[in-house]
Amino acid sequence: MAITAVMGYRIERRSTRSPFAWALALVLAGACALLVCAGLFIAAGADPWQAFAALLKGGLGSKRAIAETMVKATPLILTGLACTIAFRARLWNIGAEGQVFAGAMFAYWCQSALGDAPAPVQIAMIVIGALIGGALLGGLAGILKARFQVDEVISTVMLNYIIVYALSLLLQNGPWTEAGSFFEQTAMVPDAAQLPVILAKTRLHLGFLFALVAAAVVHVMLLRSSLGYEIRAAGSNLRALEFQGVKITRLIIVVMAISGAVAGLAGAFEVYGVQHRLKSGTLGGLGYTGIIIAILGQLRPIGVVAAALVFGVLLNGATLMQIKSGVPSALIYAVEAIILMFFLIAWAASEFRLRRLHHVE
Amino acid sequence: MPVSPAHADTATPRLQVQRLTKRFGALVANDAVSLTVMPGELHCLLGENGAGKSTLSSCLYGLYRPDEGDIHVDGKEMRFASPADAIAAGIGMVHQHFVLVPTFTVLENIIVGTGSGWRLPAAEARPKIEAICRRLSLALDLDAEVGDLSVGQQQWVEIVKALYLGARLLILDEPTAVLTPQESALLFASLRNMLADGLSIILISHKMNEVMQADRVTVLRRGHVVGSVRTAESSRHELTTMMVGRALSAIEAGERSHDGTTILSVKNVSMRDERGVSLLSDVSLDFHAGEILGLAGIAGNGQRELFEAICGLRPIDAGEIMLEGQSLNHRNPHEIYRMGVGHVPEDRFKDGLVPDFSIAENLVLGDHREKPWRQGLVLATGRLREAADEAIRNFSIACNGAEAIVRRLSGGNAQKVILARELARASRVLLCNQPTRGLDVGVIEYVHRQILEKRDAGAAILLASEELEDLIALCDRIAVIFRGEILAVLPGRQADIAEIGRLMAGGTDMQAGDQDGDRNGARNGDRGMSN
């Protein structure tokens, strides 16, 4: 249907999305995003070329840089997957943020009960604890929605605050506080409980491989399993599923719990793979960024891994960018948002085409 | 109301379309379509879904711009950039789905968009609108909120609005789809009055009894004009053949073969909504093996609720539903389907299908956790595809194969996917709610044959339809539902359409030509009539 006509051209909605138009829109969006970012860097008083170069060098310039990019991408892959699972079912789980904390906390609680157990037991316990912790918090939002019709956006955002402050409570002169420390953090975890480094002289830890495995599992789950079938069906037409007698309440709770469990892994891997102690500050933002990752990844696990790696480059390169060009590294969050916005514009724009009118007035 | 002095014998046509072509990418929706409508003529556009009727009317109303060809209105060439241009040229359109603001009054809905500046010309408009209503002997309360009106009344608001805007050519898109037989008769009587005033009307319809009331019929098939004939010189059979491209044989239901055993019985079932409003009251029906029980009623009188009650989709408040001696109360839909019940729901895309899924995936919807379709934790995709290929062959579903996305299928092919799934389940009971709504004649014939085959196989069938002629042709008995109550169960093939229509309206006597019938009736979204 005609939207508007300007100078003999008209914008029309396409009946099917063409891959060519999508690719073209992506390239244009990328160029626009670069331009806007360059403007931002100039406004910050830096040379944009220098800033971009530093950004890329910091993110991809060496074996260590690449490994560190993967470290940064690990939690984002997992939170991106968590959001993907829920969003595919049209459950707007904004709670990956809190579920990251819940996973980290539950894993810490389980692992700290183990004492001197050997490394494989410790790591198995961390993974299981993280899954359970995340699932509990996600599942709670699911129960609230399924049983009491509480909107999941509201409940998950509220639960995010609750869990973050609950951790503060435990860390601020609480039972988990490191003896004699002024900081909100636990003591270092034992060596046996630290995720092994998989590339010498870097921080790249086992969690990255686990995240890739998780992406593969989620991919198969969504496309091949009965549960994935129900998740995709719920995302397309919940009513048809209901008409077949599928228990929607159960499905909502299960999906939210699985989504939370995957987000929980992100928290535990940050604690046991990177920080080696539970701190309140370092887990913040992972869940919210996961939402962006899931959207940029088009709610596909492979896309999520790609988007998380791109964001890993940005986050990792930001430090070198600040050192070399003076652009504050915090500006990288604005860059993330600019990328997301242009991506969404490209997605919407590729649904339309410009058509030359045959009649000339 | 605008009255054109010109009449049918004048030489200038009200509308002349010459070789109009409209393409959507590779698809040619209208291919060199020509059409001539004279003043005072009721001209019917007949064609199956996708034949190009909607595209043509959208071009006439300025929603699309034709790629080639031209449009003359009263001898003047027109190029419509938007509906506003078409309205200015004297073309009005009543869409199948009304475009009214429910919270506005009738008056506000009619004049919305007409004023200049900030003010609505309500005071000036009122007498003009009242004059139009008087001319049509229409008792329309201009200060009533449109949301409170019945569907039939809302349609009148649309028509009056078009006339108020100065329409000399009115396009009506399937106007009777939402009306009772009586309301339809009233509509056509009023249309005759308007035609006598010189108004031209283009009627888009596929109901043959309406088509035959037109002066002239233009038949479209796959974007081409197959022919344009005077109805007086043609016949239903000829027009149907032109439309479909082949002769259709009339469905012969034949004698039922059942032995009379009751398979499903609905006993004293009542249902209320959350606010306590009665949806079904004391409904009792028996379903026999090898029998089709028809359900006639105006949309929204409890048909949907009855189907959903039987399937376990909605809890009932009183009564019992028994399937061969087993109570269905408190069973979930999945269990009920597993007992041999198939359900073709009313809204195929909303209730029956997952639009983003493939045909193969939709065919196992609901059974996707059951044995042949599941291998351990994953779906048996190979088996799914084989079953889909078979269904596509057996039901001649036009598609690109088992992986075709259902969203892209036509209504008829989508319905075939549902039929393939539900007929396979329906070893004992088949429930069909409006199974042929919006489908092409050819597909309707096909669906009816499938239902009859199921009947001959001994299933008990419940069939709700708005097409009373179909019900009479197919059903052994016809139950009439009004406001959630079964008013009567009539013997099928001898049933009298007028009698069914009377009962559908609540059983009150209505004389033909009683023009207040549809206006004093329904309140507050109640679509029944009562006076």
Q: Is B312 on the interface with A (CB under 8 A)?
A: yes
- The listed range with the strongest mean pLDDT (A90-94, A315-319, B157-161, B260-264) is A90-94
What are the CA-CA distances from residue B282 to residues B285, B295, B317, B463 (Å)? 10, 16, 10, 20
Nearest to A240 among B81, B337, B353 (CB): B353
- Residues of chain A found within 8 Å of residue B54, distances taken between Cβ atoms: none
pLDDT top residue among B275 and A13: B275
Scanning every residue of chain B, which has its alpha carbon at the shortest distance from the alpha carbon of A16? B408
| CA–CA gap between residue A220 and residue A208 (Å, rounded) | 19
Whole-number CA gyration radius for chain A: 22
Tell me whether residues B337 and A233 touch, CB distance under 8 A.
no
Q: If you average pLDDT over every residue of chain B, what do you get?
A: 85
* pLDDT value for B154: 87
Tell me whether residues B336 and A245 touch, CB distance under 8 A.
yes
Q: What are phi and psi of B301, to 5 degrees?
A: -105, 20
For chain B, the maximum distance between any two Cα atoms, rounded to a whole number of angstroms, is 77
The partner residues of B477 in beta bridges, in order of sequence, read B293, B491
For B363, other C-beta atoms within 10 Å of its C-beta total: 25
The residues in B 333-352 lying below 8 A from A, measured between CB atoms, are 333-337, 343, 345, 349-352
Task: Report strand pairing: B216-221 vs B224-230.
Answer: antiparallel
* pLDDT value for B499: 86
Q: What is the pLDDT along chain A (361 residues), one digit of tens a residue?
A: 444 456 667 677 776 778 888 899 989 999 999 999 999 999 988 889 999 999 999 999 999 999 999 999 999 999 999 999 999 999 999 999 999 999 999 999 999 998 888 999 999 999 999 999 999 999 999 999 999 999 999 999 999 999 999 999 999 888 888 888 778 889 889 999 999 999 989 999 999 999 999 999 999 999 999 999 999 999 999 999 999 989 999 999 999 999 999 999 999 999 999 999 998 788 999 999 999 999 999 999 999 999 999 999 999 999 899 898 888 888 888 998 999 999 999 988 888 877 665 543 3
- The listed range with the strongest mean pLDDT (B25-29, B356-360, B394-398, B500-504) is B356-360
- Residues of chain A found within 8 Å of residue B365, distances taken between Cβ atoms: 233, 240-241, 244
- Residue B515's pLDDT band (boundaries 50, 70, 90)? very low
Query: For the residues of B385-442, what is the DSSP string, one character each?
Result: HHHHHHHHHHTT--SS-TT-BGGGS-HHHHHHHHHHHHHHH-SSEEEEESTTTT--HH
C-alpha dihedral over A75, A76, A79, A80, to 10 degrees? -150
Nearest to B374 among A226, A247, A361 (CB): A226
- Residues of chain B found within 8 Å of residue A243, distances taken between Cβ atoms: 311, 313, 333, 343, 345, 351-352, 366
Q: What is the mean pLDDT of residues B120-136?
A: 86
For residue B47, pLDDT over 70 is answered with: yes
- Residues of chain B found within 8 Å of residue A233, distances taken between Cβ atoms: 354, 357, 365
User: For chain A, which residues make up each domain, given as ranges?
Assistant: 78-297
Of residues A48, A17, A9, A67, the one with CA closest to residue A298: A17
For residue B510, pLDDT over 50 is answered with: no
- Residues of chain B found within 8 Å of residue A230, distances taken between Cβ atoms: 368
For residue B162, pLDDT over 50 is answered with: yes
How is residue B519 annotated by DSSP?
Answer: T
Of residues A222, A92, A83, the one with CA closest to residue A145: A92
What lies within 8 Å, CB to CB, of A148 at 6+ separation is none
What lies within 8 Å, CB to CB, of B377 at 6+ separation is A225, A226
Of residues A87, A2, A57, the one with CA closest to residue A292: A87
Q: What is the pLDDT of residues B300-350, one digit of tens each?
A: 889 999 999 999 999 999 999 999 989 999 899 999 999 999 999 988 888
Which of A243, A359, A360 should one mutate to test binding to chain B, selecting the residue with the greatest count of B CBs within 10 A?
Answer: A243
Q: Is B120 on the interface with A (CB under 8 A)?
A: no
* pLDDT value for A359: 47
- Residue B523's pLDDT band (boundaries 50, 70, 90)? very low
* pLDDT value for B3: 43
- Residue B526's pLDDT band (boundaries 50, 70, 90)? very low
Q: What is the mean pLDDT of residues B366-372?
A: 87
Counting other chains too, the contacts that A57-64 makes at CB distance below 8 Å and 24 or more residues apart are A57/A317, A57/A320, A58/A316, A58/A317, A58/A318, A58/A319, A58/A320, A58/A321, A59/A312, A59/A313, A59/A314, A59/A316, A59/A317, A60/A313, A60/A317, A61/A320, A63/A199, A63/A202, A64/A201, A64/A202
Q: What is the mean pLDDT of residues B445-455?
A: 91
Query: Which tokens sit at A154?
Result: 């509201």
For B206, other C-beta atoms within 10 Å of its C-beta total: 23
| CA–CA gap between residue B345 and residue B402 (Å, rounded) | 22
pLDDT top residue among B356 and A182: B356
Q: What is the mean pLDDT of residues B201-218?
A: 88
Tell me whether residues B366 and A245 touch, CB distance under 8 A.
yes
Of residues B295, B292, B254, B252, the one with CA closest to residue B476: B292
* pLDDT value for B530: 37
- The distance of B164 to chain A (nearest Cα, Å) reads 25
* pLDDT value for A84: 98
Domains located in chain B, CATH noted? 15-244 (3.40.50.300), 253-340+426-531 (3.40.50.300), 348-425 (no CATH)
Tell me whether residues A245 and B354 touch, CB distance under 8 A.
no
